[in-house]
Amino acid sequence: MTRIVYQMSLVDEPSHIVYVPKSYKSSTLTHVAFGTLSLPCVVKTHASLQNEILLSTSLFEQLSMPFCQTIYLFQTEDTLHIGPLIGILSAGFTGSLLRPVGKRSLPFAKLLSTATATGGYPFVFGIHHINWNRGRINGYFYTNDGWEQHEVPFPNVVYNRLPNRKTENLDMFQLVKEKLCSQYLIPLFNPDFFDKWTIDQLMRKNEQTAKLLPETYASPDASRIQSMLSKHRSIYLKPKDGSLGNGVYEVTLCDNNTYRACYKDSSSNQLVTKTLHSLDDVFSLLDKQALPSYLVQQSIPLMTKQGRKVDFRVHTNKNEHGQWVMTVAAAKLAAKNSVTTHVNSGGTIKTLEEIYDCKVECQKVKGLLEKAAILASNQIEQHIDGVIGEIGFDFGLDKDQNLWIFEANSKPGRSIFTHPKLYEADQLTRKYSLLYATHLAEESMCKPGEIYV
């Protein structure tokens, strides 16, 4: 069903009244809701209205609405819901209206600005902005005049954008997420960062996704690492909960029975290559005590472009109907001798068209990535706890053009969107985040209590 976007305007009347288009069925409506706040009101039709509603100023103020905006209307029994009100949970607030979320203020401003096209009221908030006693949140909205802070009711849906695992694992954030969902029945999507090993194991439950995974083991001991090197000659050691390529080591067994280790030095941020003479020397690089928190993974001989390794970042998003779609596929070229293709390790973003000169081959690869990404998204969603709205995948093609899945991330980075030709894809991912939030809000209104973290 296609949702209609309405423009909301105010009418100077003292009573609680809403005027809707004549075509809107309003005979049973006795209440209006914004977020989780519901008030009694009169709902009347107005012959001159089409895709517009009029709200009395008194009702506007009592509902704690921040400003007029393009909105959706949802109807449940006797209540007309205006919105949705979309809360985006984050951390690291500065207290300044100029840059309220520090360096992440610009990405959030872009996300919130998308609402002028999609409809609804998205805002950013932290747990310290919640007033549990009053049922209000003092959230940050982005308008044509810049950042504004307004106190609004609890939202219809929460989009989790906590910035890192350390923050998310704090008890106070876990308690807030649980309270919003279990006590207030507010759906929350993207509840947690993925654990690499958990994702690997659930992907192996499906024959189609299992065949795309490199051989991988958790908490390897010396014997496991040696057997993997003997079998594959080259392996990766990576933290189960790592990100941005930090803490990743590529270890290769050379012909003279020495070991070559490549990694990024954490203090200097420089790429380092060392020749080592035993596994103990390898372990000395990463602290043998840390092995239980690591994975060992088969290294795949990736395709190259201009002598540089290539892999692919693919984003999938839930759309306005709650269905998975691929929103972007881009290539990442590793820096010379780099362990990973991450931009912070010297990697370069390219469009698929810049990698493949042949249009037919480019479309073939794009189709291959899309099919695998949608398949993997459905597999993850089926087996993991919580509601997920977006996933970022790292894929690779080996020299024989076999496809591999290396990682899946529930809060994918956005470094690929620095490429000027990926601007529209950037907009599309933001659009779908808000449209899926709207879908989830509508689902929770129609079936309260059936959507959980």
Taking CA atoms, 98 is separated from 106, 209, 261, in Å, by: 10, 45, 45
Q: Determine, yes or no, domain membership for 209.
A: no
In a domain, 200, yes or no: no
- In a domain, residue 198? The reply is no
Query: Based on the domain organization, do 356 and 285 belong to the same domain?
Result: no
Residue at which a domain ends, from 83, 107, 122: 83
Q: Do 153 and 221 belong together in one domain?
A: no
In angstroms and rounded to an integer, the radius of gyration of the C-alpha atoms of the chain is 25
Instruction: Tell me, yes or no, whether 266 lies in a domain.
Output: yes
**119 and 49 assigned to the same domain:** no
- Helix (H) or strand (E) run with residue 167 in it: helix 165-168
The CATH number covering residue 318 comes to: 3.30.470.20
Q: How far apart are CA 3 and CA 337, in angstroms?
A: 51
Per-residue confidence band for 453, with pLDDT thresholds at 50, 70 and 90: very low
* CA–CA separation, 39 and 48 (whole Å): 25
Q: What is the pLDDT of residue 449?
A: 60
**Residue 193 covered by a domain:** no
Q: What pLDDT is stored for residue 3 in this prediction?
A: 84
What pLDDT does 406 receive?
A: 95
The whole-chain average pLDDT of the chain stands at 92
Please indicate, yes or no, if residue 105 is contained in any of the structural domains: yes
307 and 430 co-located in one domain: yes
* 453 & 327 share domain: yes
The answer to whether 232 and 287 are in contact (CB under 8 A) is no
- Per-residue pLDDT at 360 exceeds 60: yes
Q: Kindly state whether residue 223 falls inside one of the protein's structural domains.
A: yes
Percent pLDDT > 90 in the chain is 79
User: Cα separation of 235 and 222, whole Å?
Assistant: 13
- How confident is the model over 254-274, as a mean pLDDT? 85
Residue that terminates a domain, selected from 233, 266, 299: 299
In a domain, 210, yes or no: no
Same-domain status, 100 and 167: yes
Domain-terminating residue out of 270, 299, 328: 299
Q: Which two tokens stand for residue 148?
A: 């504004």
Q: What is the DSSP string of 103-140?
A: GGHHHHHHHHHTHHHH-SEEEEE-GGGEETTTTEEEEE
Residues 306, 449, single domain; the answer is yes
Cα distances (Å, whole numbers) of residue 280 to 155, 254, 262, 276, 294: 54, 16, 16, 9, 16
> Which tens digit of pLDDT belongs to each residue from 146-205?
999 999 999 999 999 999 999 999 999 999 999 999 999 999 999 999 999 999 999 999
Q: What is the average per-residue pLDDT within 409-425? A: 92
Asked whether residue 356 carries a pLDDT value surpassing 50, the answer given is yes
Judgement on whether residues 309 and 446 belong to the same structural domain of the protein: yes
pLDDT of residue 289: 62
Same domain? 79 vs 100? no
Residues 356 and 420 in one domain: yes
Band of the pLDDT at 266, cuts 50, 70, 90? confident
pLDDT of residue 335: 78
Q: Show the CA angle centred on residue 288, arms to residues 283 and 292, nearest 5°.
A: 125
Q: Residue 295 belongs to what domain range?
A: 215-299
Domain check: are 182 and 324 in the same one?
no
Looking at residues 334-355, what average pLDDT do you find?
A: 78
| pLDDT score of 388 more than 50 | yes
How many domains, the chain? 4
Same domain, 95 and 25: no
